[in-house]
Amino acid sequence: MTVEWEQVIIDAADPVALGRWWCEALDWTVVDDSPEEYEIRPAPDRLPGLLFVHVRDGKTLKNRLHLDFRPDDRDAEVQRFLSLGARHADVGQGEDASWVTLADPEGNEFCVLATRSKG
């Protein structure tokens, strides 16, 4: 039996707005722009994608699942996310963490990891 990872589902008060934000932040492609289920992927035929679905309840707790990104330049990428509207988030990571925790416009946490050392 073969299993393919299709997508990660992200609950959203406004799936279109949040999906557009992530689409711009990741430079991905919209594959479904319906108001109830907004899906983006790295390319139309590449998986996995992110699917933003409408929920009525607001986010109240720390995410139980979050995305991690490892850029070539952590600090530059953090600044880029912040310029798009992300904000710093404290999930107990401590001041000496090698990663930076941010939150998207609806408060979903994600991490920007330190640049991987080459060697």
Regarding the domain delimited by 7-56, which CATH topology (the fold level of the hierarchy) does it fall under?
2,3-Dihydroxybiphenyl 1,2-Dioxygenase; domain 1 (3.10.180)
What pLDDT is recorded for position 118?
66
- CATH code, residues 64-119: 3.10.180.10
Strands 67-69 and 29-33, how do they pair?
A: unpaired
What is the DSSP-derived secondary structure letter of residue 45? T
What pLDDT is recorded for position 117?
72
| Three-state secondary structure call for residue 101 | strand
Domains of the chain, residue spans: 7-56, 64-119
Q: Is 64-119 in the same CATH topology as 7-56? A: yes
Regions of the chain short of the pLDDT cut 50: none
What pLDDT is recorded for position 119?
57
Distance CA 12, CA 108 (A): 9
User: With contact defined as beta carbons under 8 Å apart, do 55 and 11 qualify?
Assistant: yes
What pLDDT is recorded for position 65?
87
Buried b (16+ CB within 10 A) or exposed e, 10-44: bbbeebbebbbbbbebeebeebeeeeebbbbbeee
| Location of structure tokens 């711009």 | 24
| Location of structure tokens 């607001």 | 58
Token pair belonging to 44: 């139309």
